[in-house]
Structure 1
């Protein structure tokens, strides 16, 4: 009895906490119904009974029992544990370092009643502990070897489902976490490393990935700015086009209204003149008719007379020719407006042409704002072609040149591509074609077969050819040119699927490929034609020229 009362009297909460024998190594709580098994270790009756349902070893010393002994409560340890529990309960509320678990924080798995916030989670015990219940892991030699981490939920997920052992290794072969038993069975021949080692590698990789993701974020934020800026530019362009369109159609409507009014006035004036002419003719005819009727009456009367003298005297005056007009060649024209409508339409056409020239001039100025610097790619040029050192001129060289074989090179057609490719947006460049009898210009897809002879949009070419002073889009309708082309502008709207050609000198639009869908990079295409193509000297080069931005 002296010993019994000595322990609680002399013991303080800190000294009690150092008494490892009062804590169950399975639940890590103060003994409840403590029992002592034959190897001398103590456990809660419920804890050891449950443990022995899965194995026949001692949890502490791993001694195997082939026959299970009857478990009886150790009354001495039970009484000591009760005293220990009372002292701990007195200590817990006054501990300044412990706080009740907040709703969003992980709580202690051991606390009964009011749950305190978990301080650490044990990977061996698969339990989270508050500061008080963590003490055995701090002071007990057997528990110090357990691995503690910051509180985490679902600790059971850290156990191997097949072997009920801690997942402490990583299988690089199958890219999955495994336990030690897994390396002796299913993953026996696989390459495994400790989780800590793989963790270090993956964390370093995470840093790189994070940097890449941040770079992607920055790129996308910049793209958002670019798109917003494009929208603003598009709004300005749309507003300008609306203004130009309204001005054009207003001028056109006004011209039509003026032409209509002039046509009506001319026709009405001519009609009125015709009516007045007809009225005068009718009056004159009616007078002649009256005079003829009078003479007819006199002649009838004279034909009935028996007076010889009277008939002979009146006969000369009545039978002499009357002073009347020859009406066989007199007529009033019914087609008074012949030529008037044609002249009105001709004037209207002149007005439309003038306004169209203004629009084309404005359109060319707008597309010129998308000008880019284009340089020829020597790795793609045909062996007959000669390029300038600056990559801005190309012409037929009359003979073959020794060139290194390159899959990107044109071998069948004397052509060359631009170095720069474009996979979005709009771009524009100009080419001098003066002095040439034939040439090919336009765009081509990056993946297009360079050996193709048939160059059409279906085959990845959007190009046009000059032949017999006619502009001939391959796959399109020929355009007759009023003047010789000296400089050609090429404009591409990637998203709209449009390739347009302009006569820069005359500031006019020539032709557009429209309605295509571009899905890969496009490159400028140049073919100066052979030196004697087109029925004349075609030795002049194609020259990529700077764009002259006019006001």
Structure 2
């Protein structure tokens, strides 16, 4: 029997529905053979009763009986294939131990196991290139589902219908076979595995891209945090150095004042000692004189010569005192001696603290210095700018210049070319020998033509000014704040912290804080603004000069 089976084609033992070796084969009236369960289920799921191969139709389902001859031949074929597979598996078991654990090998190789080229979902067997050849040649095998080699092929076959899971039910989100899609999943959304795979892979690509974006975003955030820590450390070091410098200077001032107070106390005590020494010397001289008189009195008291005794009766009188010693006291109270020095020290420390803090702030702010250049397109027609854009002064007549929507015409102002909408910046302006000026920063939205608007923050200006050579003012909303300065600034430093809403003005040479605008609201870009004011017949003709900033690390 085995020799007879070997002469038959493998295709003759395969059901054309399930594409597997016959199980309970039946022959229908047209002569074609099928597994009994396959043809029965096929007719149950279709309205027409016809042969799947020749399409011959039947009015009613024919009576089906198992073809015992084909059944026996199919059983013999299965046993033959099973023995062959088992034998080849046993012979190659020792060789498989030398292959890679994840490599799929051909199930039909007997001597040396070759790497599988494809796995068949219908045969549930993996084939090398040589043993895969029948699947390219035999018509029945050509219809088998071939995939890249995989292990555990049984998991890819429907356990209910023994068919390959080659479709996907999107309704239930599971893999199904052809029979599943025609029965319990008939009304569901069914697509091929390839279509679902490509869609899911596309989604996976998007997900992977999003994950990579999130990773990069977090890596960037880590970098920013580390950079913030580094900047914080640098800022902390600068602040520590500044604090040490300020407190060292204050302690030195306190120590100097303490030494002065100690010297004053010592001097007062020295004066007390000198007074005491003089009084003691005077008292000792009187005591010496009194002891001399006491000796004379003692000698006279021993005399028995009446005449001599009476002749010297003047010695019986006590010598008149030089001063009332009972009222003589040595002053040694030090109460209140610290009052004046402490008051002076407080005033000194307050003054020095302001100077030291201003020095430290200027040292820090100079790190944010910017190179400001004046914009001639914004300058009032009567203002004259230097060629380098660093100086401006008032001329007597208007110049013939091109009109511009940026030009300021309602007051003698000019803006810097540089604008700022974030961060910090600092610049210095020389105001030496001027009697009138206005300087600071202005919003991009300020009025430039028409009626003059006050230099107030609500109008987009944060400025200070000098008038008539002595009147310094901070130009705040609805009225100026008059400033009392200990010295006349020769150079003014302007510091702006956009995010903090801070505009500070400093006397650079003093150094001292002139005024600070706080809680400012900058809605748009801001620009440096200079106003040299009218030259007043030459008394105010000196230009405002943007000075280079010397950084001190």
TM-score range, shorter chain: 0.5 to 0.7
Query: Aligned residues, how many?
Result: 459
Please list every run of 5 or more consecutive structure 2 residues that lacks an aligned counterpart in the other structure: 105-114, 157-164, 177-187, 284-320
- The match for 1:503 among 484, 501, 507 is 507
**By how many angstroms is 1:361 displaced?**
3.4
In the alignment, which residue of structure 2 is the partner of 1:441?
440
Aligned partners of 1:59, 1:436: CA distance in 2, in Å? 114
Matched, 1:529 2:531: yes
The residue number in structure 2 matching 1:82 is 75
Native 8 Å contact 2:462 2:475 kept in 1: yes
8 Å contact from structure 1 (residues 423, 494) kept in 2: yes
CA contact (8 A) 2:116 2:149 kept: no
**Deviation of 1:242 (Å):** 2.1
Q: Could you report, residue by residue, the CA deviation over 1:421-467 in whole angstroms, capped at 9, with x for unpaired residues? A: 4545x5444445554723342375xxx7555968877x796833324
After superposition, the Cα gap between the structure-2 partners of 1:146 and 1:324, relative to the gap in structure 1 and judged at 3 Å, is same
Residues 10 and 121 of structure 1: CA distance in aligned 2, closer, same or farther (over 3 Å)? closer
| SS at 2:368 equivalent | coil
The aligned runs of 1:183-222 (5 Å cut-off) are 217=216
| Contiguous gaps of at least 5 residues in structure 1 | 107-115, 167-180, 183-193, 285-321
Counterpart Cα distance in 2 of 1:374 and 1:455: 21
Q: Is 1:472 paired with 2:474?
A: yes
SS of 2:233 mapped into structure 1 = helix
Q: Label 1:383 to 1:352 Cα distance change in 2 as closer, same or farther (>3 A).
A: closer
> Alpha carbon RMSD of aligned pairs, Å?
6.8
Whole-angstrom CA distance in 2 between matches of 1:74 and 1:274:
145
| CA distance in 2: counterparts of 1:451 and 1:31, whole angstroms | 96
Alpha carbons 2:501, 2:519 under 8 Å: kept? yes
Deviations 1:235-274 (A, max 9, x none): 2442343244234334434544664575477469769979
Q: TM-score, normalised by structure 1?
A: 0.55
Contact 1:252 1:352 in 2 (8 A): no
Instruction: Name the CA distance, whole Å, in 2 between partners of 1:377 and 1:260.
Output: 55
Aligned counterpart for 2:5 among listed residues 3, 8, 14: 8
2:24 counterpart of 1:33: yes
> Is contact 1:465-1:471 (8 Å) kept?
yes
Residue pair 2:440, 2:463 contacting (<8 A) in 1 also:
yes
1:367 alignment partner, one of 359, 365, 368:
365
Q: Deviation string for 1:143-184 (max 9, x for gaps)? A: 868997769999788445499999xxxxxxxxxxxxxx99xx
Equivalent residue for 1:463? 462
Q: 1:315 aligns to what? A: none
1:530-549 pair list within 5 angstroms: 531-532=533-534, 544-549=546-551
| Secondary structure of the corresponding residue to residue 463 of structure 1 | strand
In 1, distance between residues paired with 2:68 and 2:409?
101
Change (3 A) 1:91 1:99: same
- Where do residues 149-168 of structure 1 align in structure 2 (5 Å cutoff)? 158-159=168-169, 161=171
* Structure 2 length-normalised TM: 0.55
> In the alignment, which residue of structure 2 is the partner of 1:109?
none
Q: What's the offset of the Cα at 1:72?
A: 4.3
Mapping 1:263-302, distance limit 5 Å: 263=261, 266=264
Contact in 1 for aligned 2:532/2:543 (Cα 8 Å): no
**In the superposition, relative to structure 1, how do residues 26 and 507 fare at CA in structure 2: closer, same or farther (>3 Å)?**
farther
CA distance in 1, matches of 2:139, 2:455: 84
Instruction: Check conservation: 2:419, 2:527, Cα contact below 8 A.
Output: no
Task: Give the corresponding residue for 1:91.
Answer: 85
Distance 1:400 1:54 in 2: 97
Equivalent residue of 1:350, what SS?
A: helix
Q: In the TM superposition, what whole-angstrom CA distance separates every residue of 1:80-100 from its partner, at most 9, and x where no partner exists?
A: 443443344333784789999
SS in 1 for 2:462: strand
Q: For residues 163 and 228 of structure 1, do their structure 2 counterparts lie closer, same or farther at Cα, with a shift above 3 Å needed?
A: closer
- Quote the Cα distance in structure 2 between the aligned partners of 1:415 and 1:66: 103
Q: 1:234 aligns with which of 217, 232, 235?
A: 232
Give yes or no for contact 1:430–1:490 (8 Å, CA) kept in 2. yes
Q: Whole-Å Cα distance in 1 between the matches of residues 173 and 29 of structure 2?
A: 27
1:186 corresponds to = none
Q: How far apart in 2 are the matches of 1:121 and 1:383? A: 89
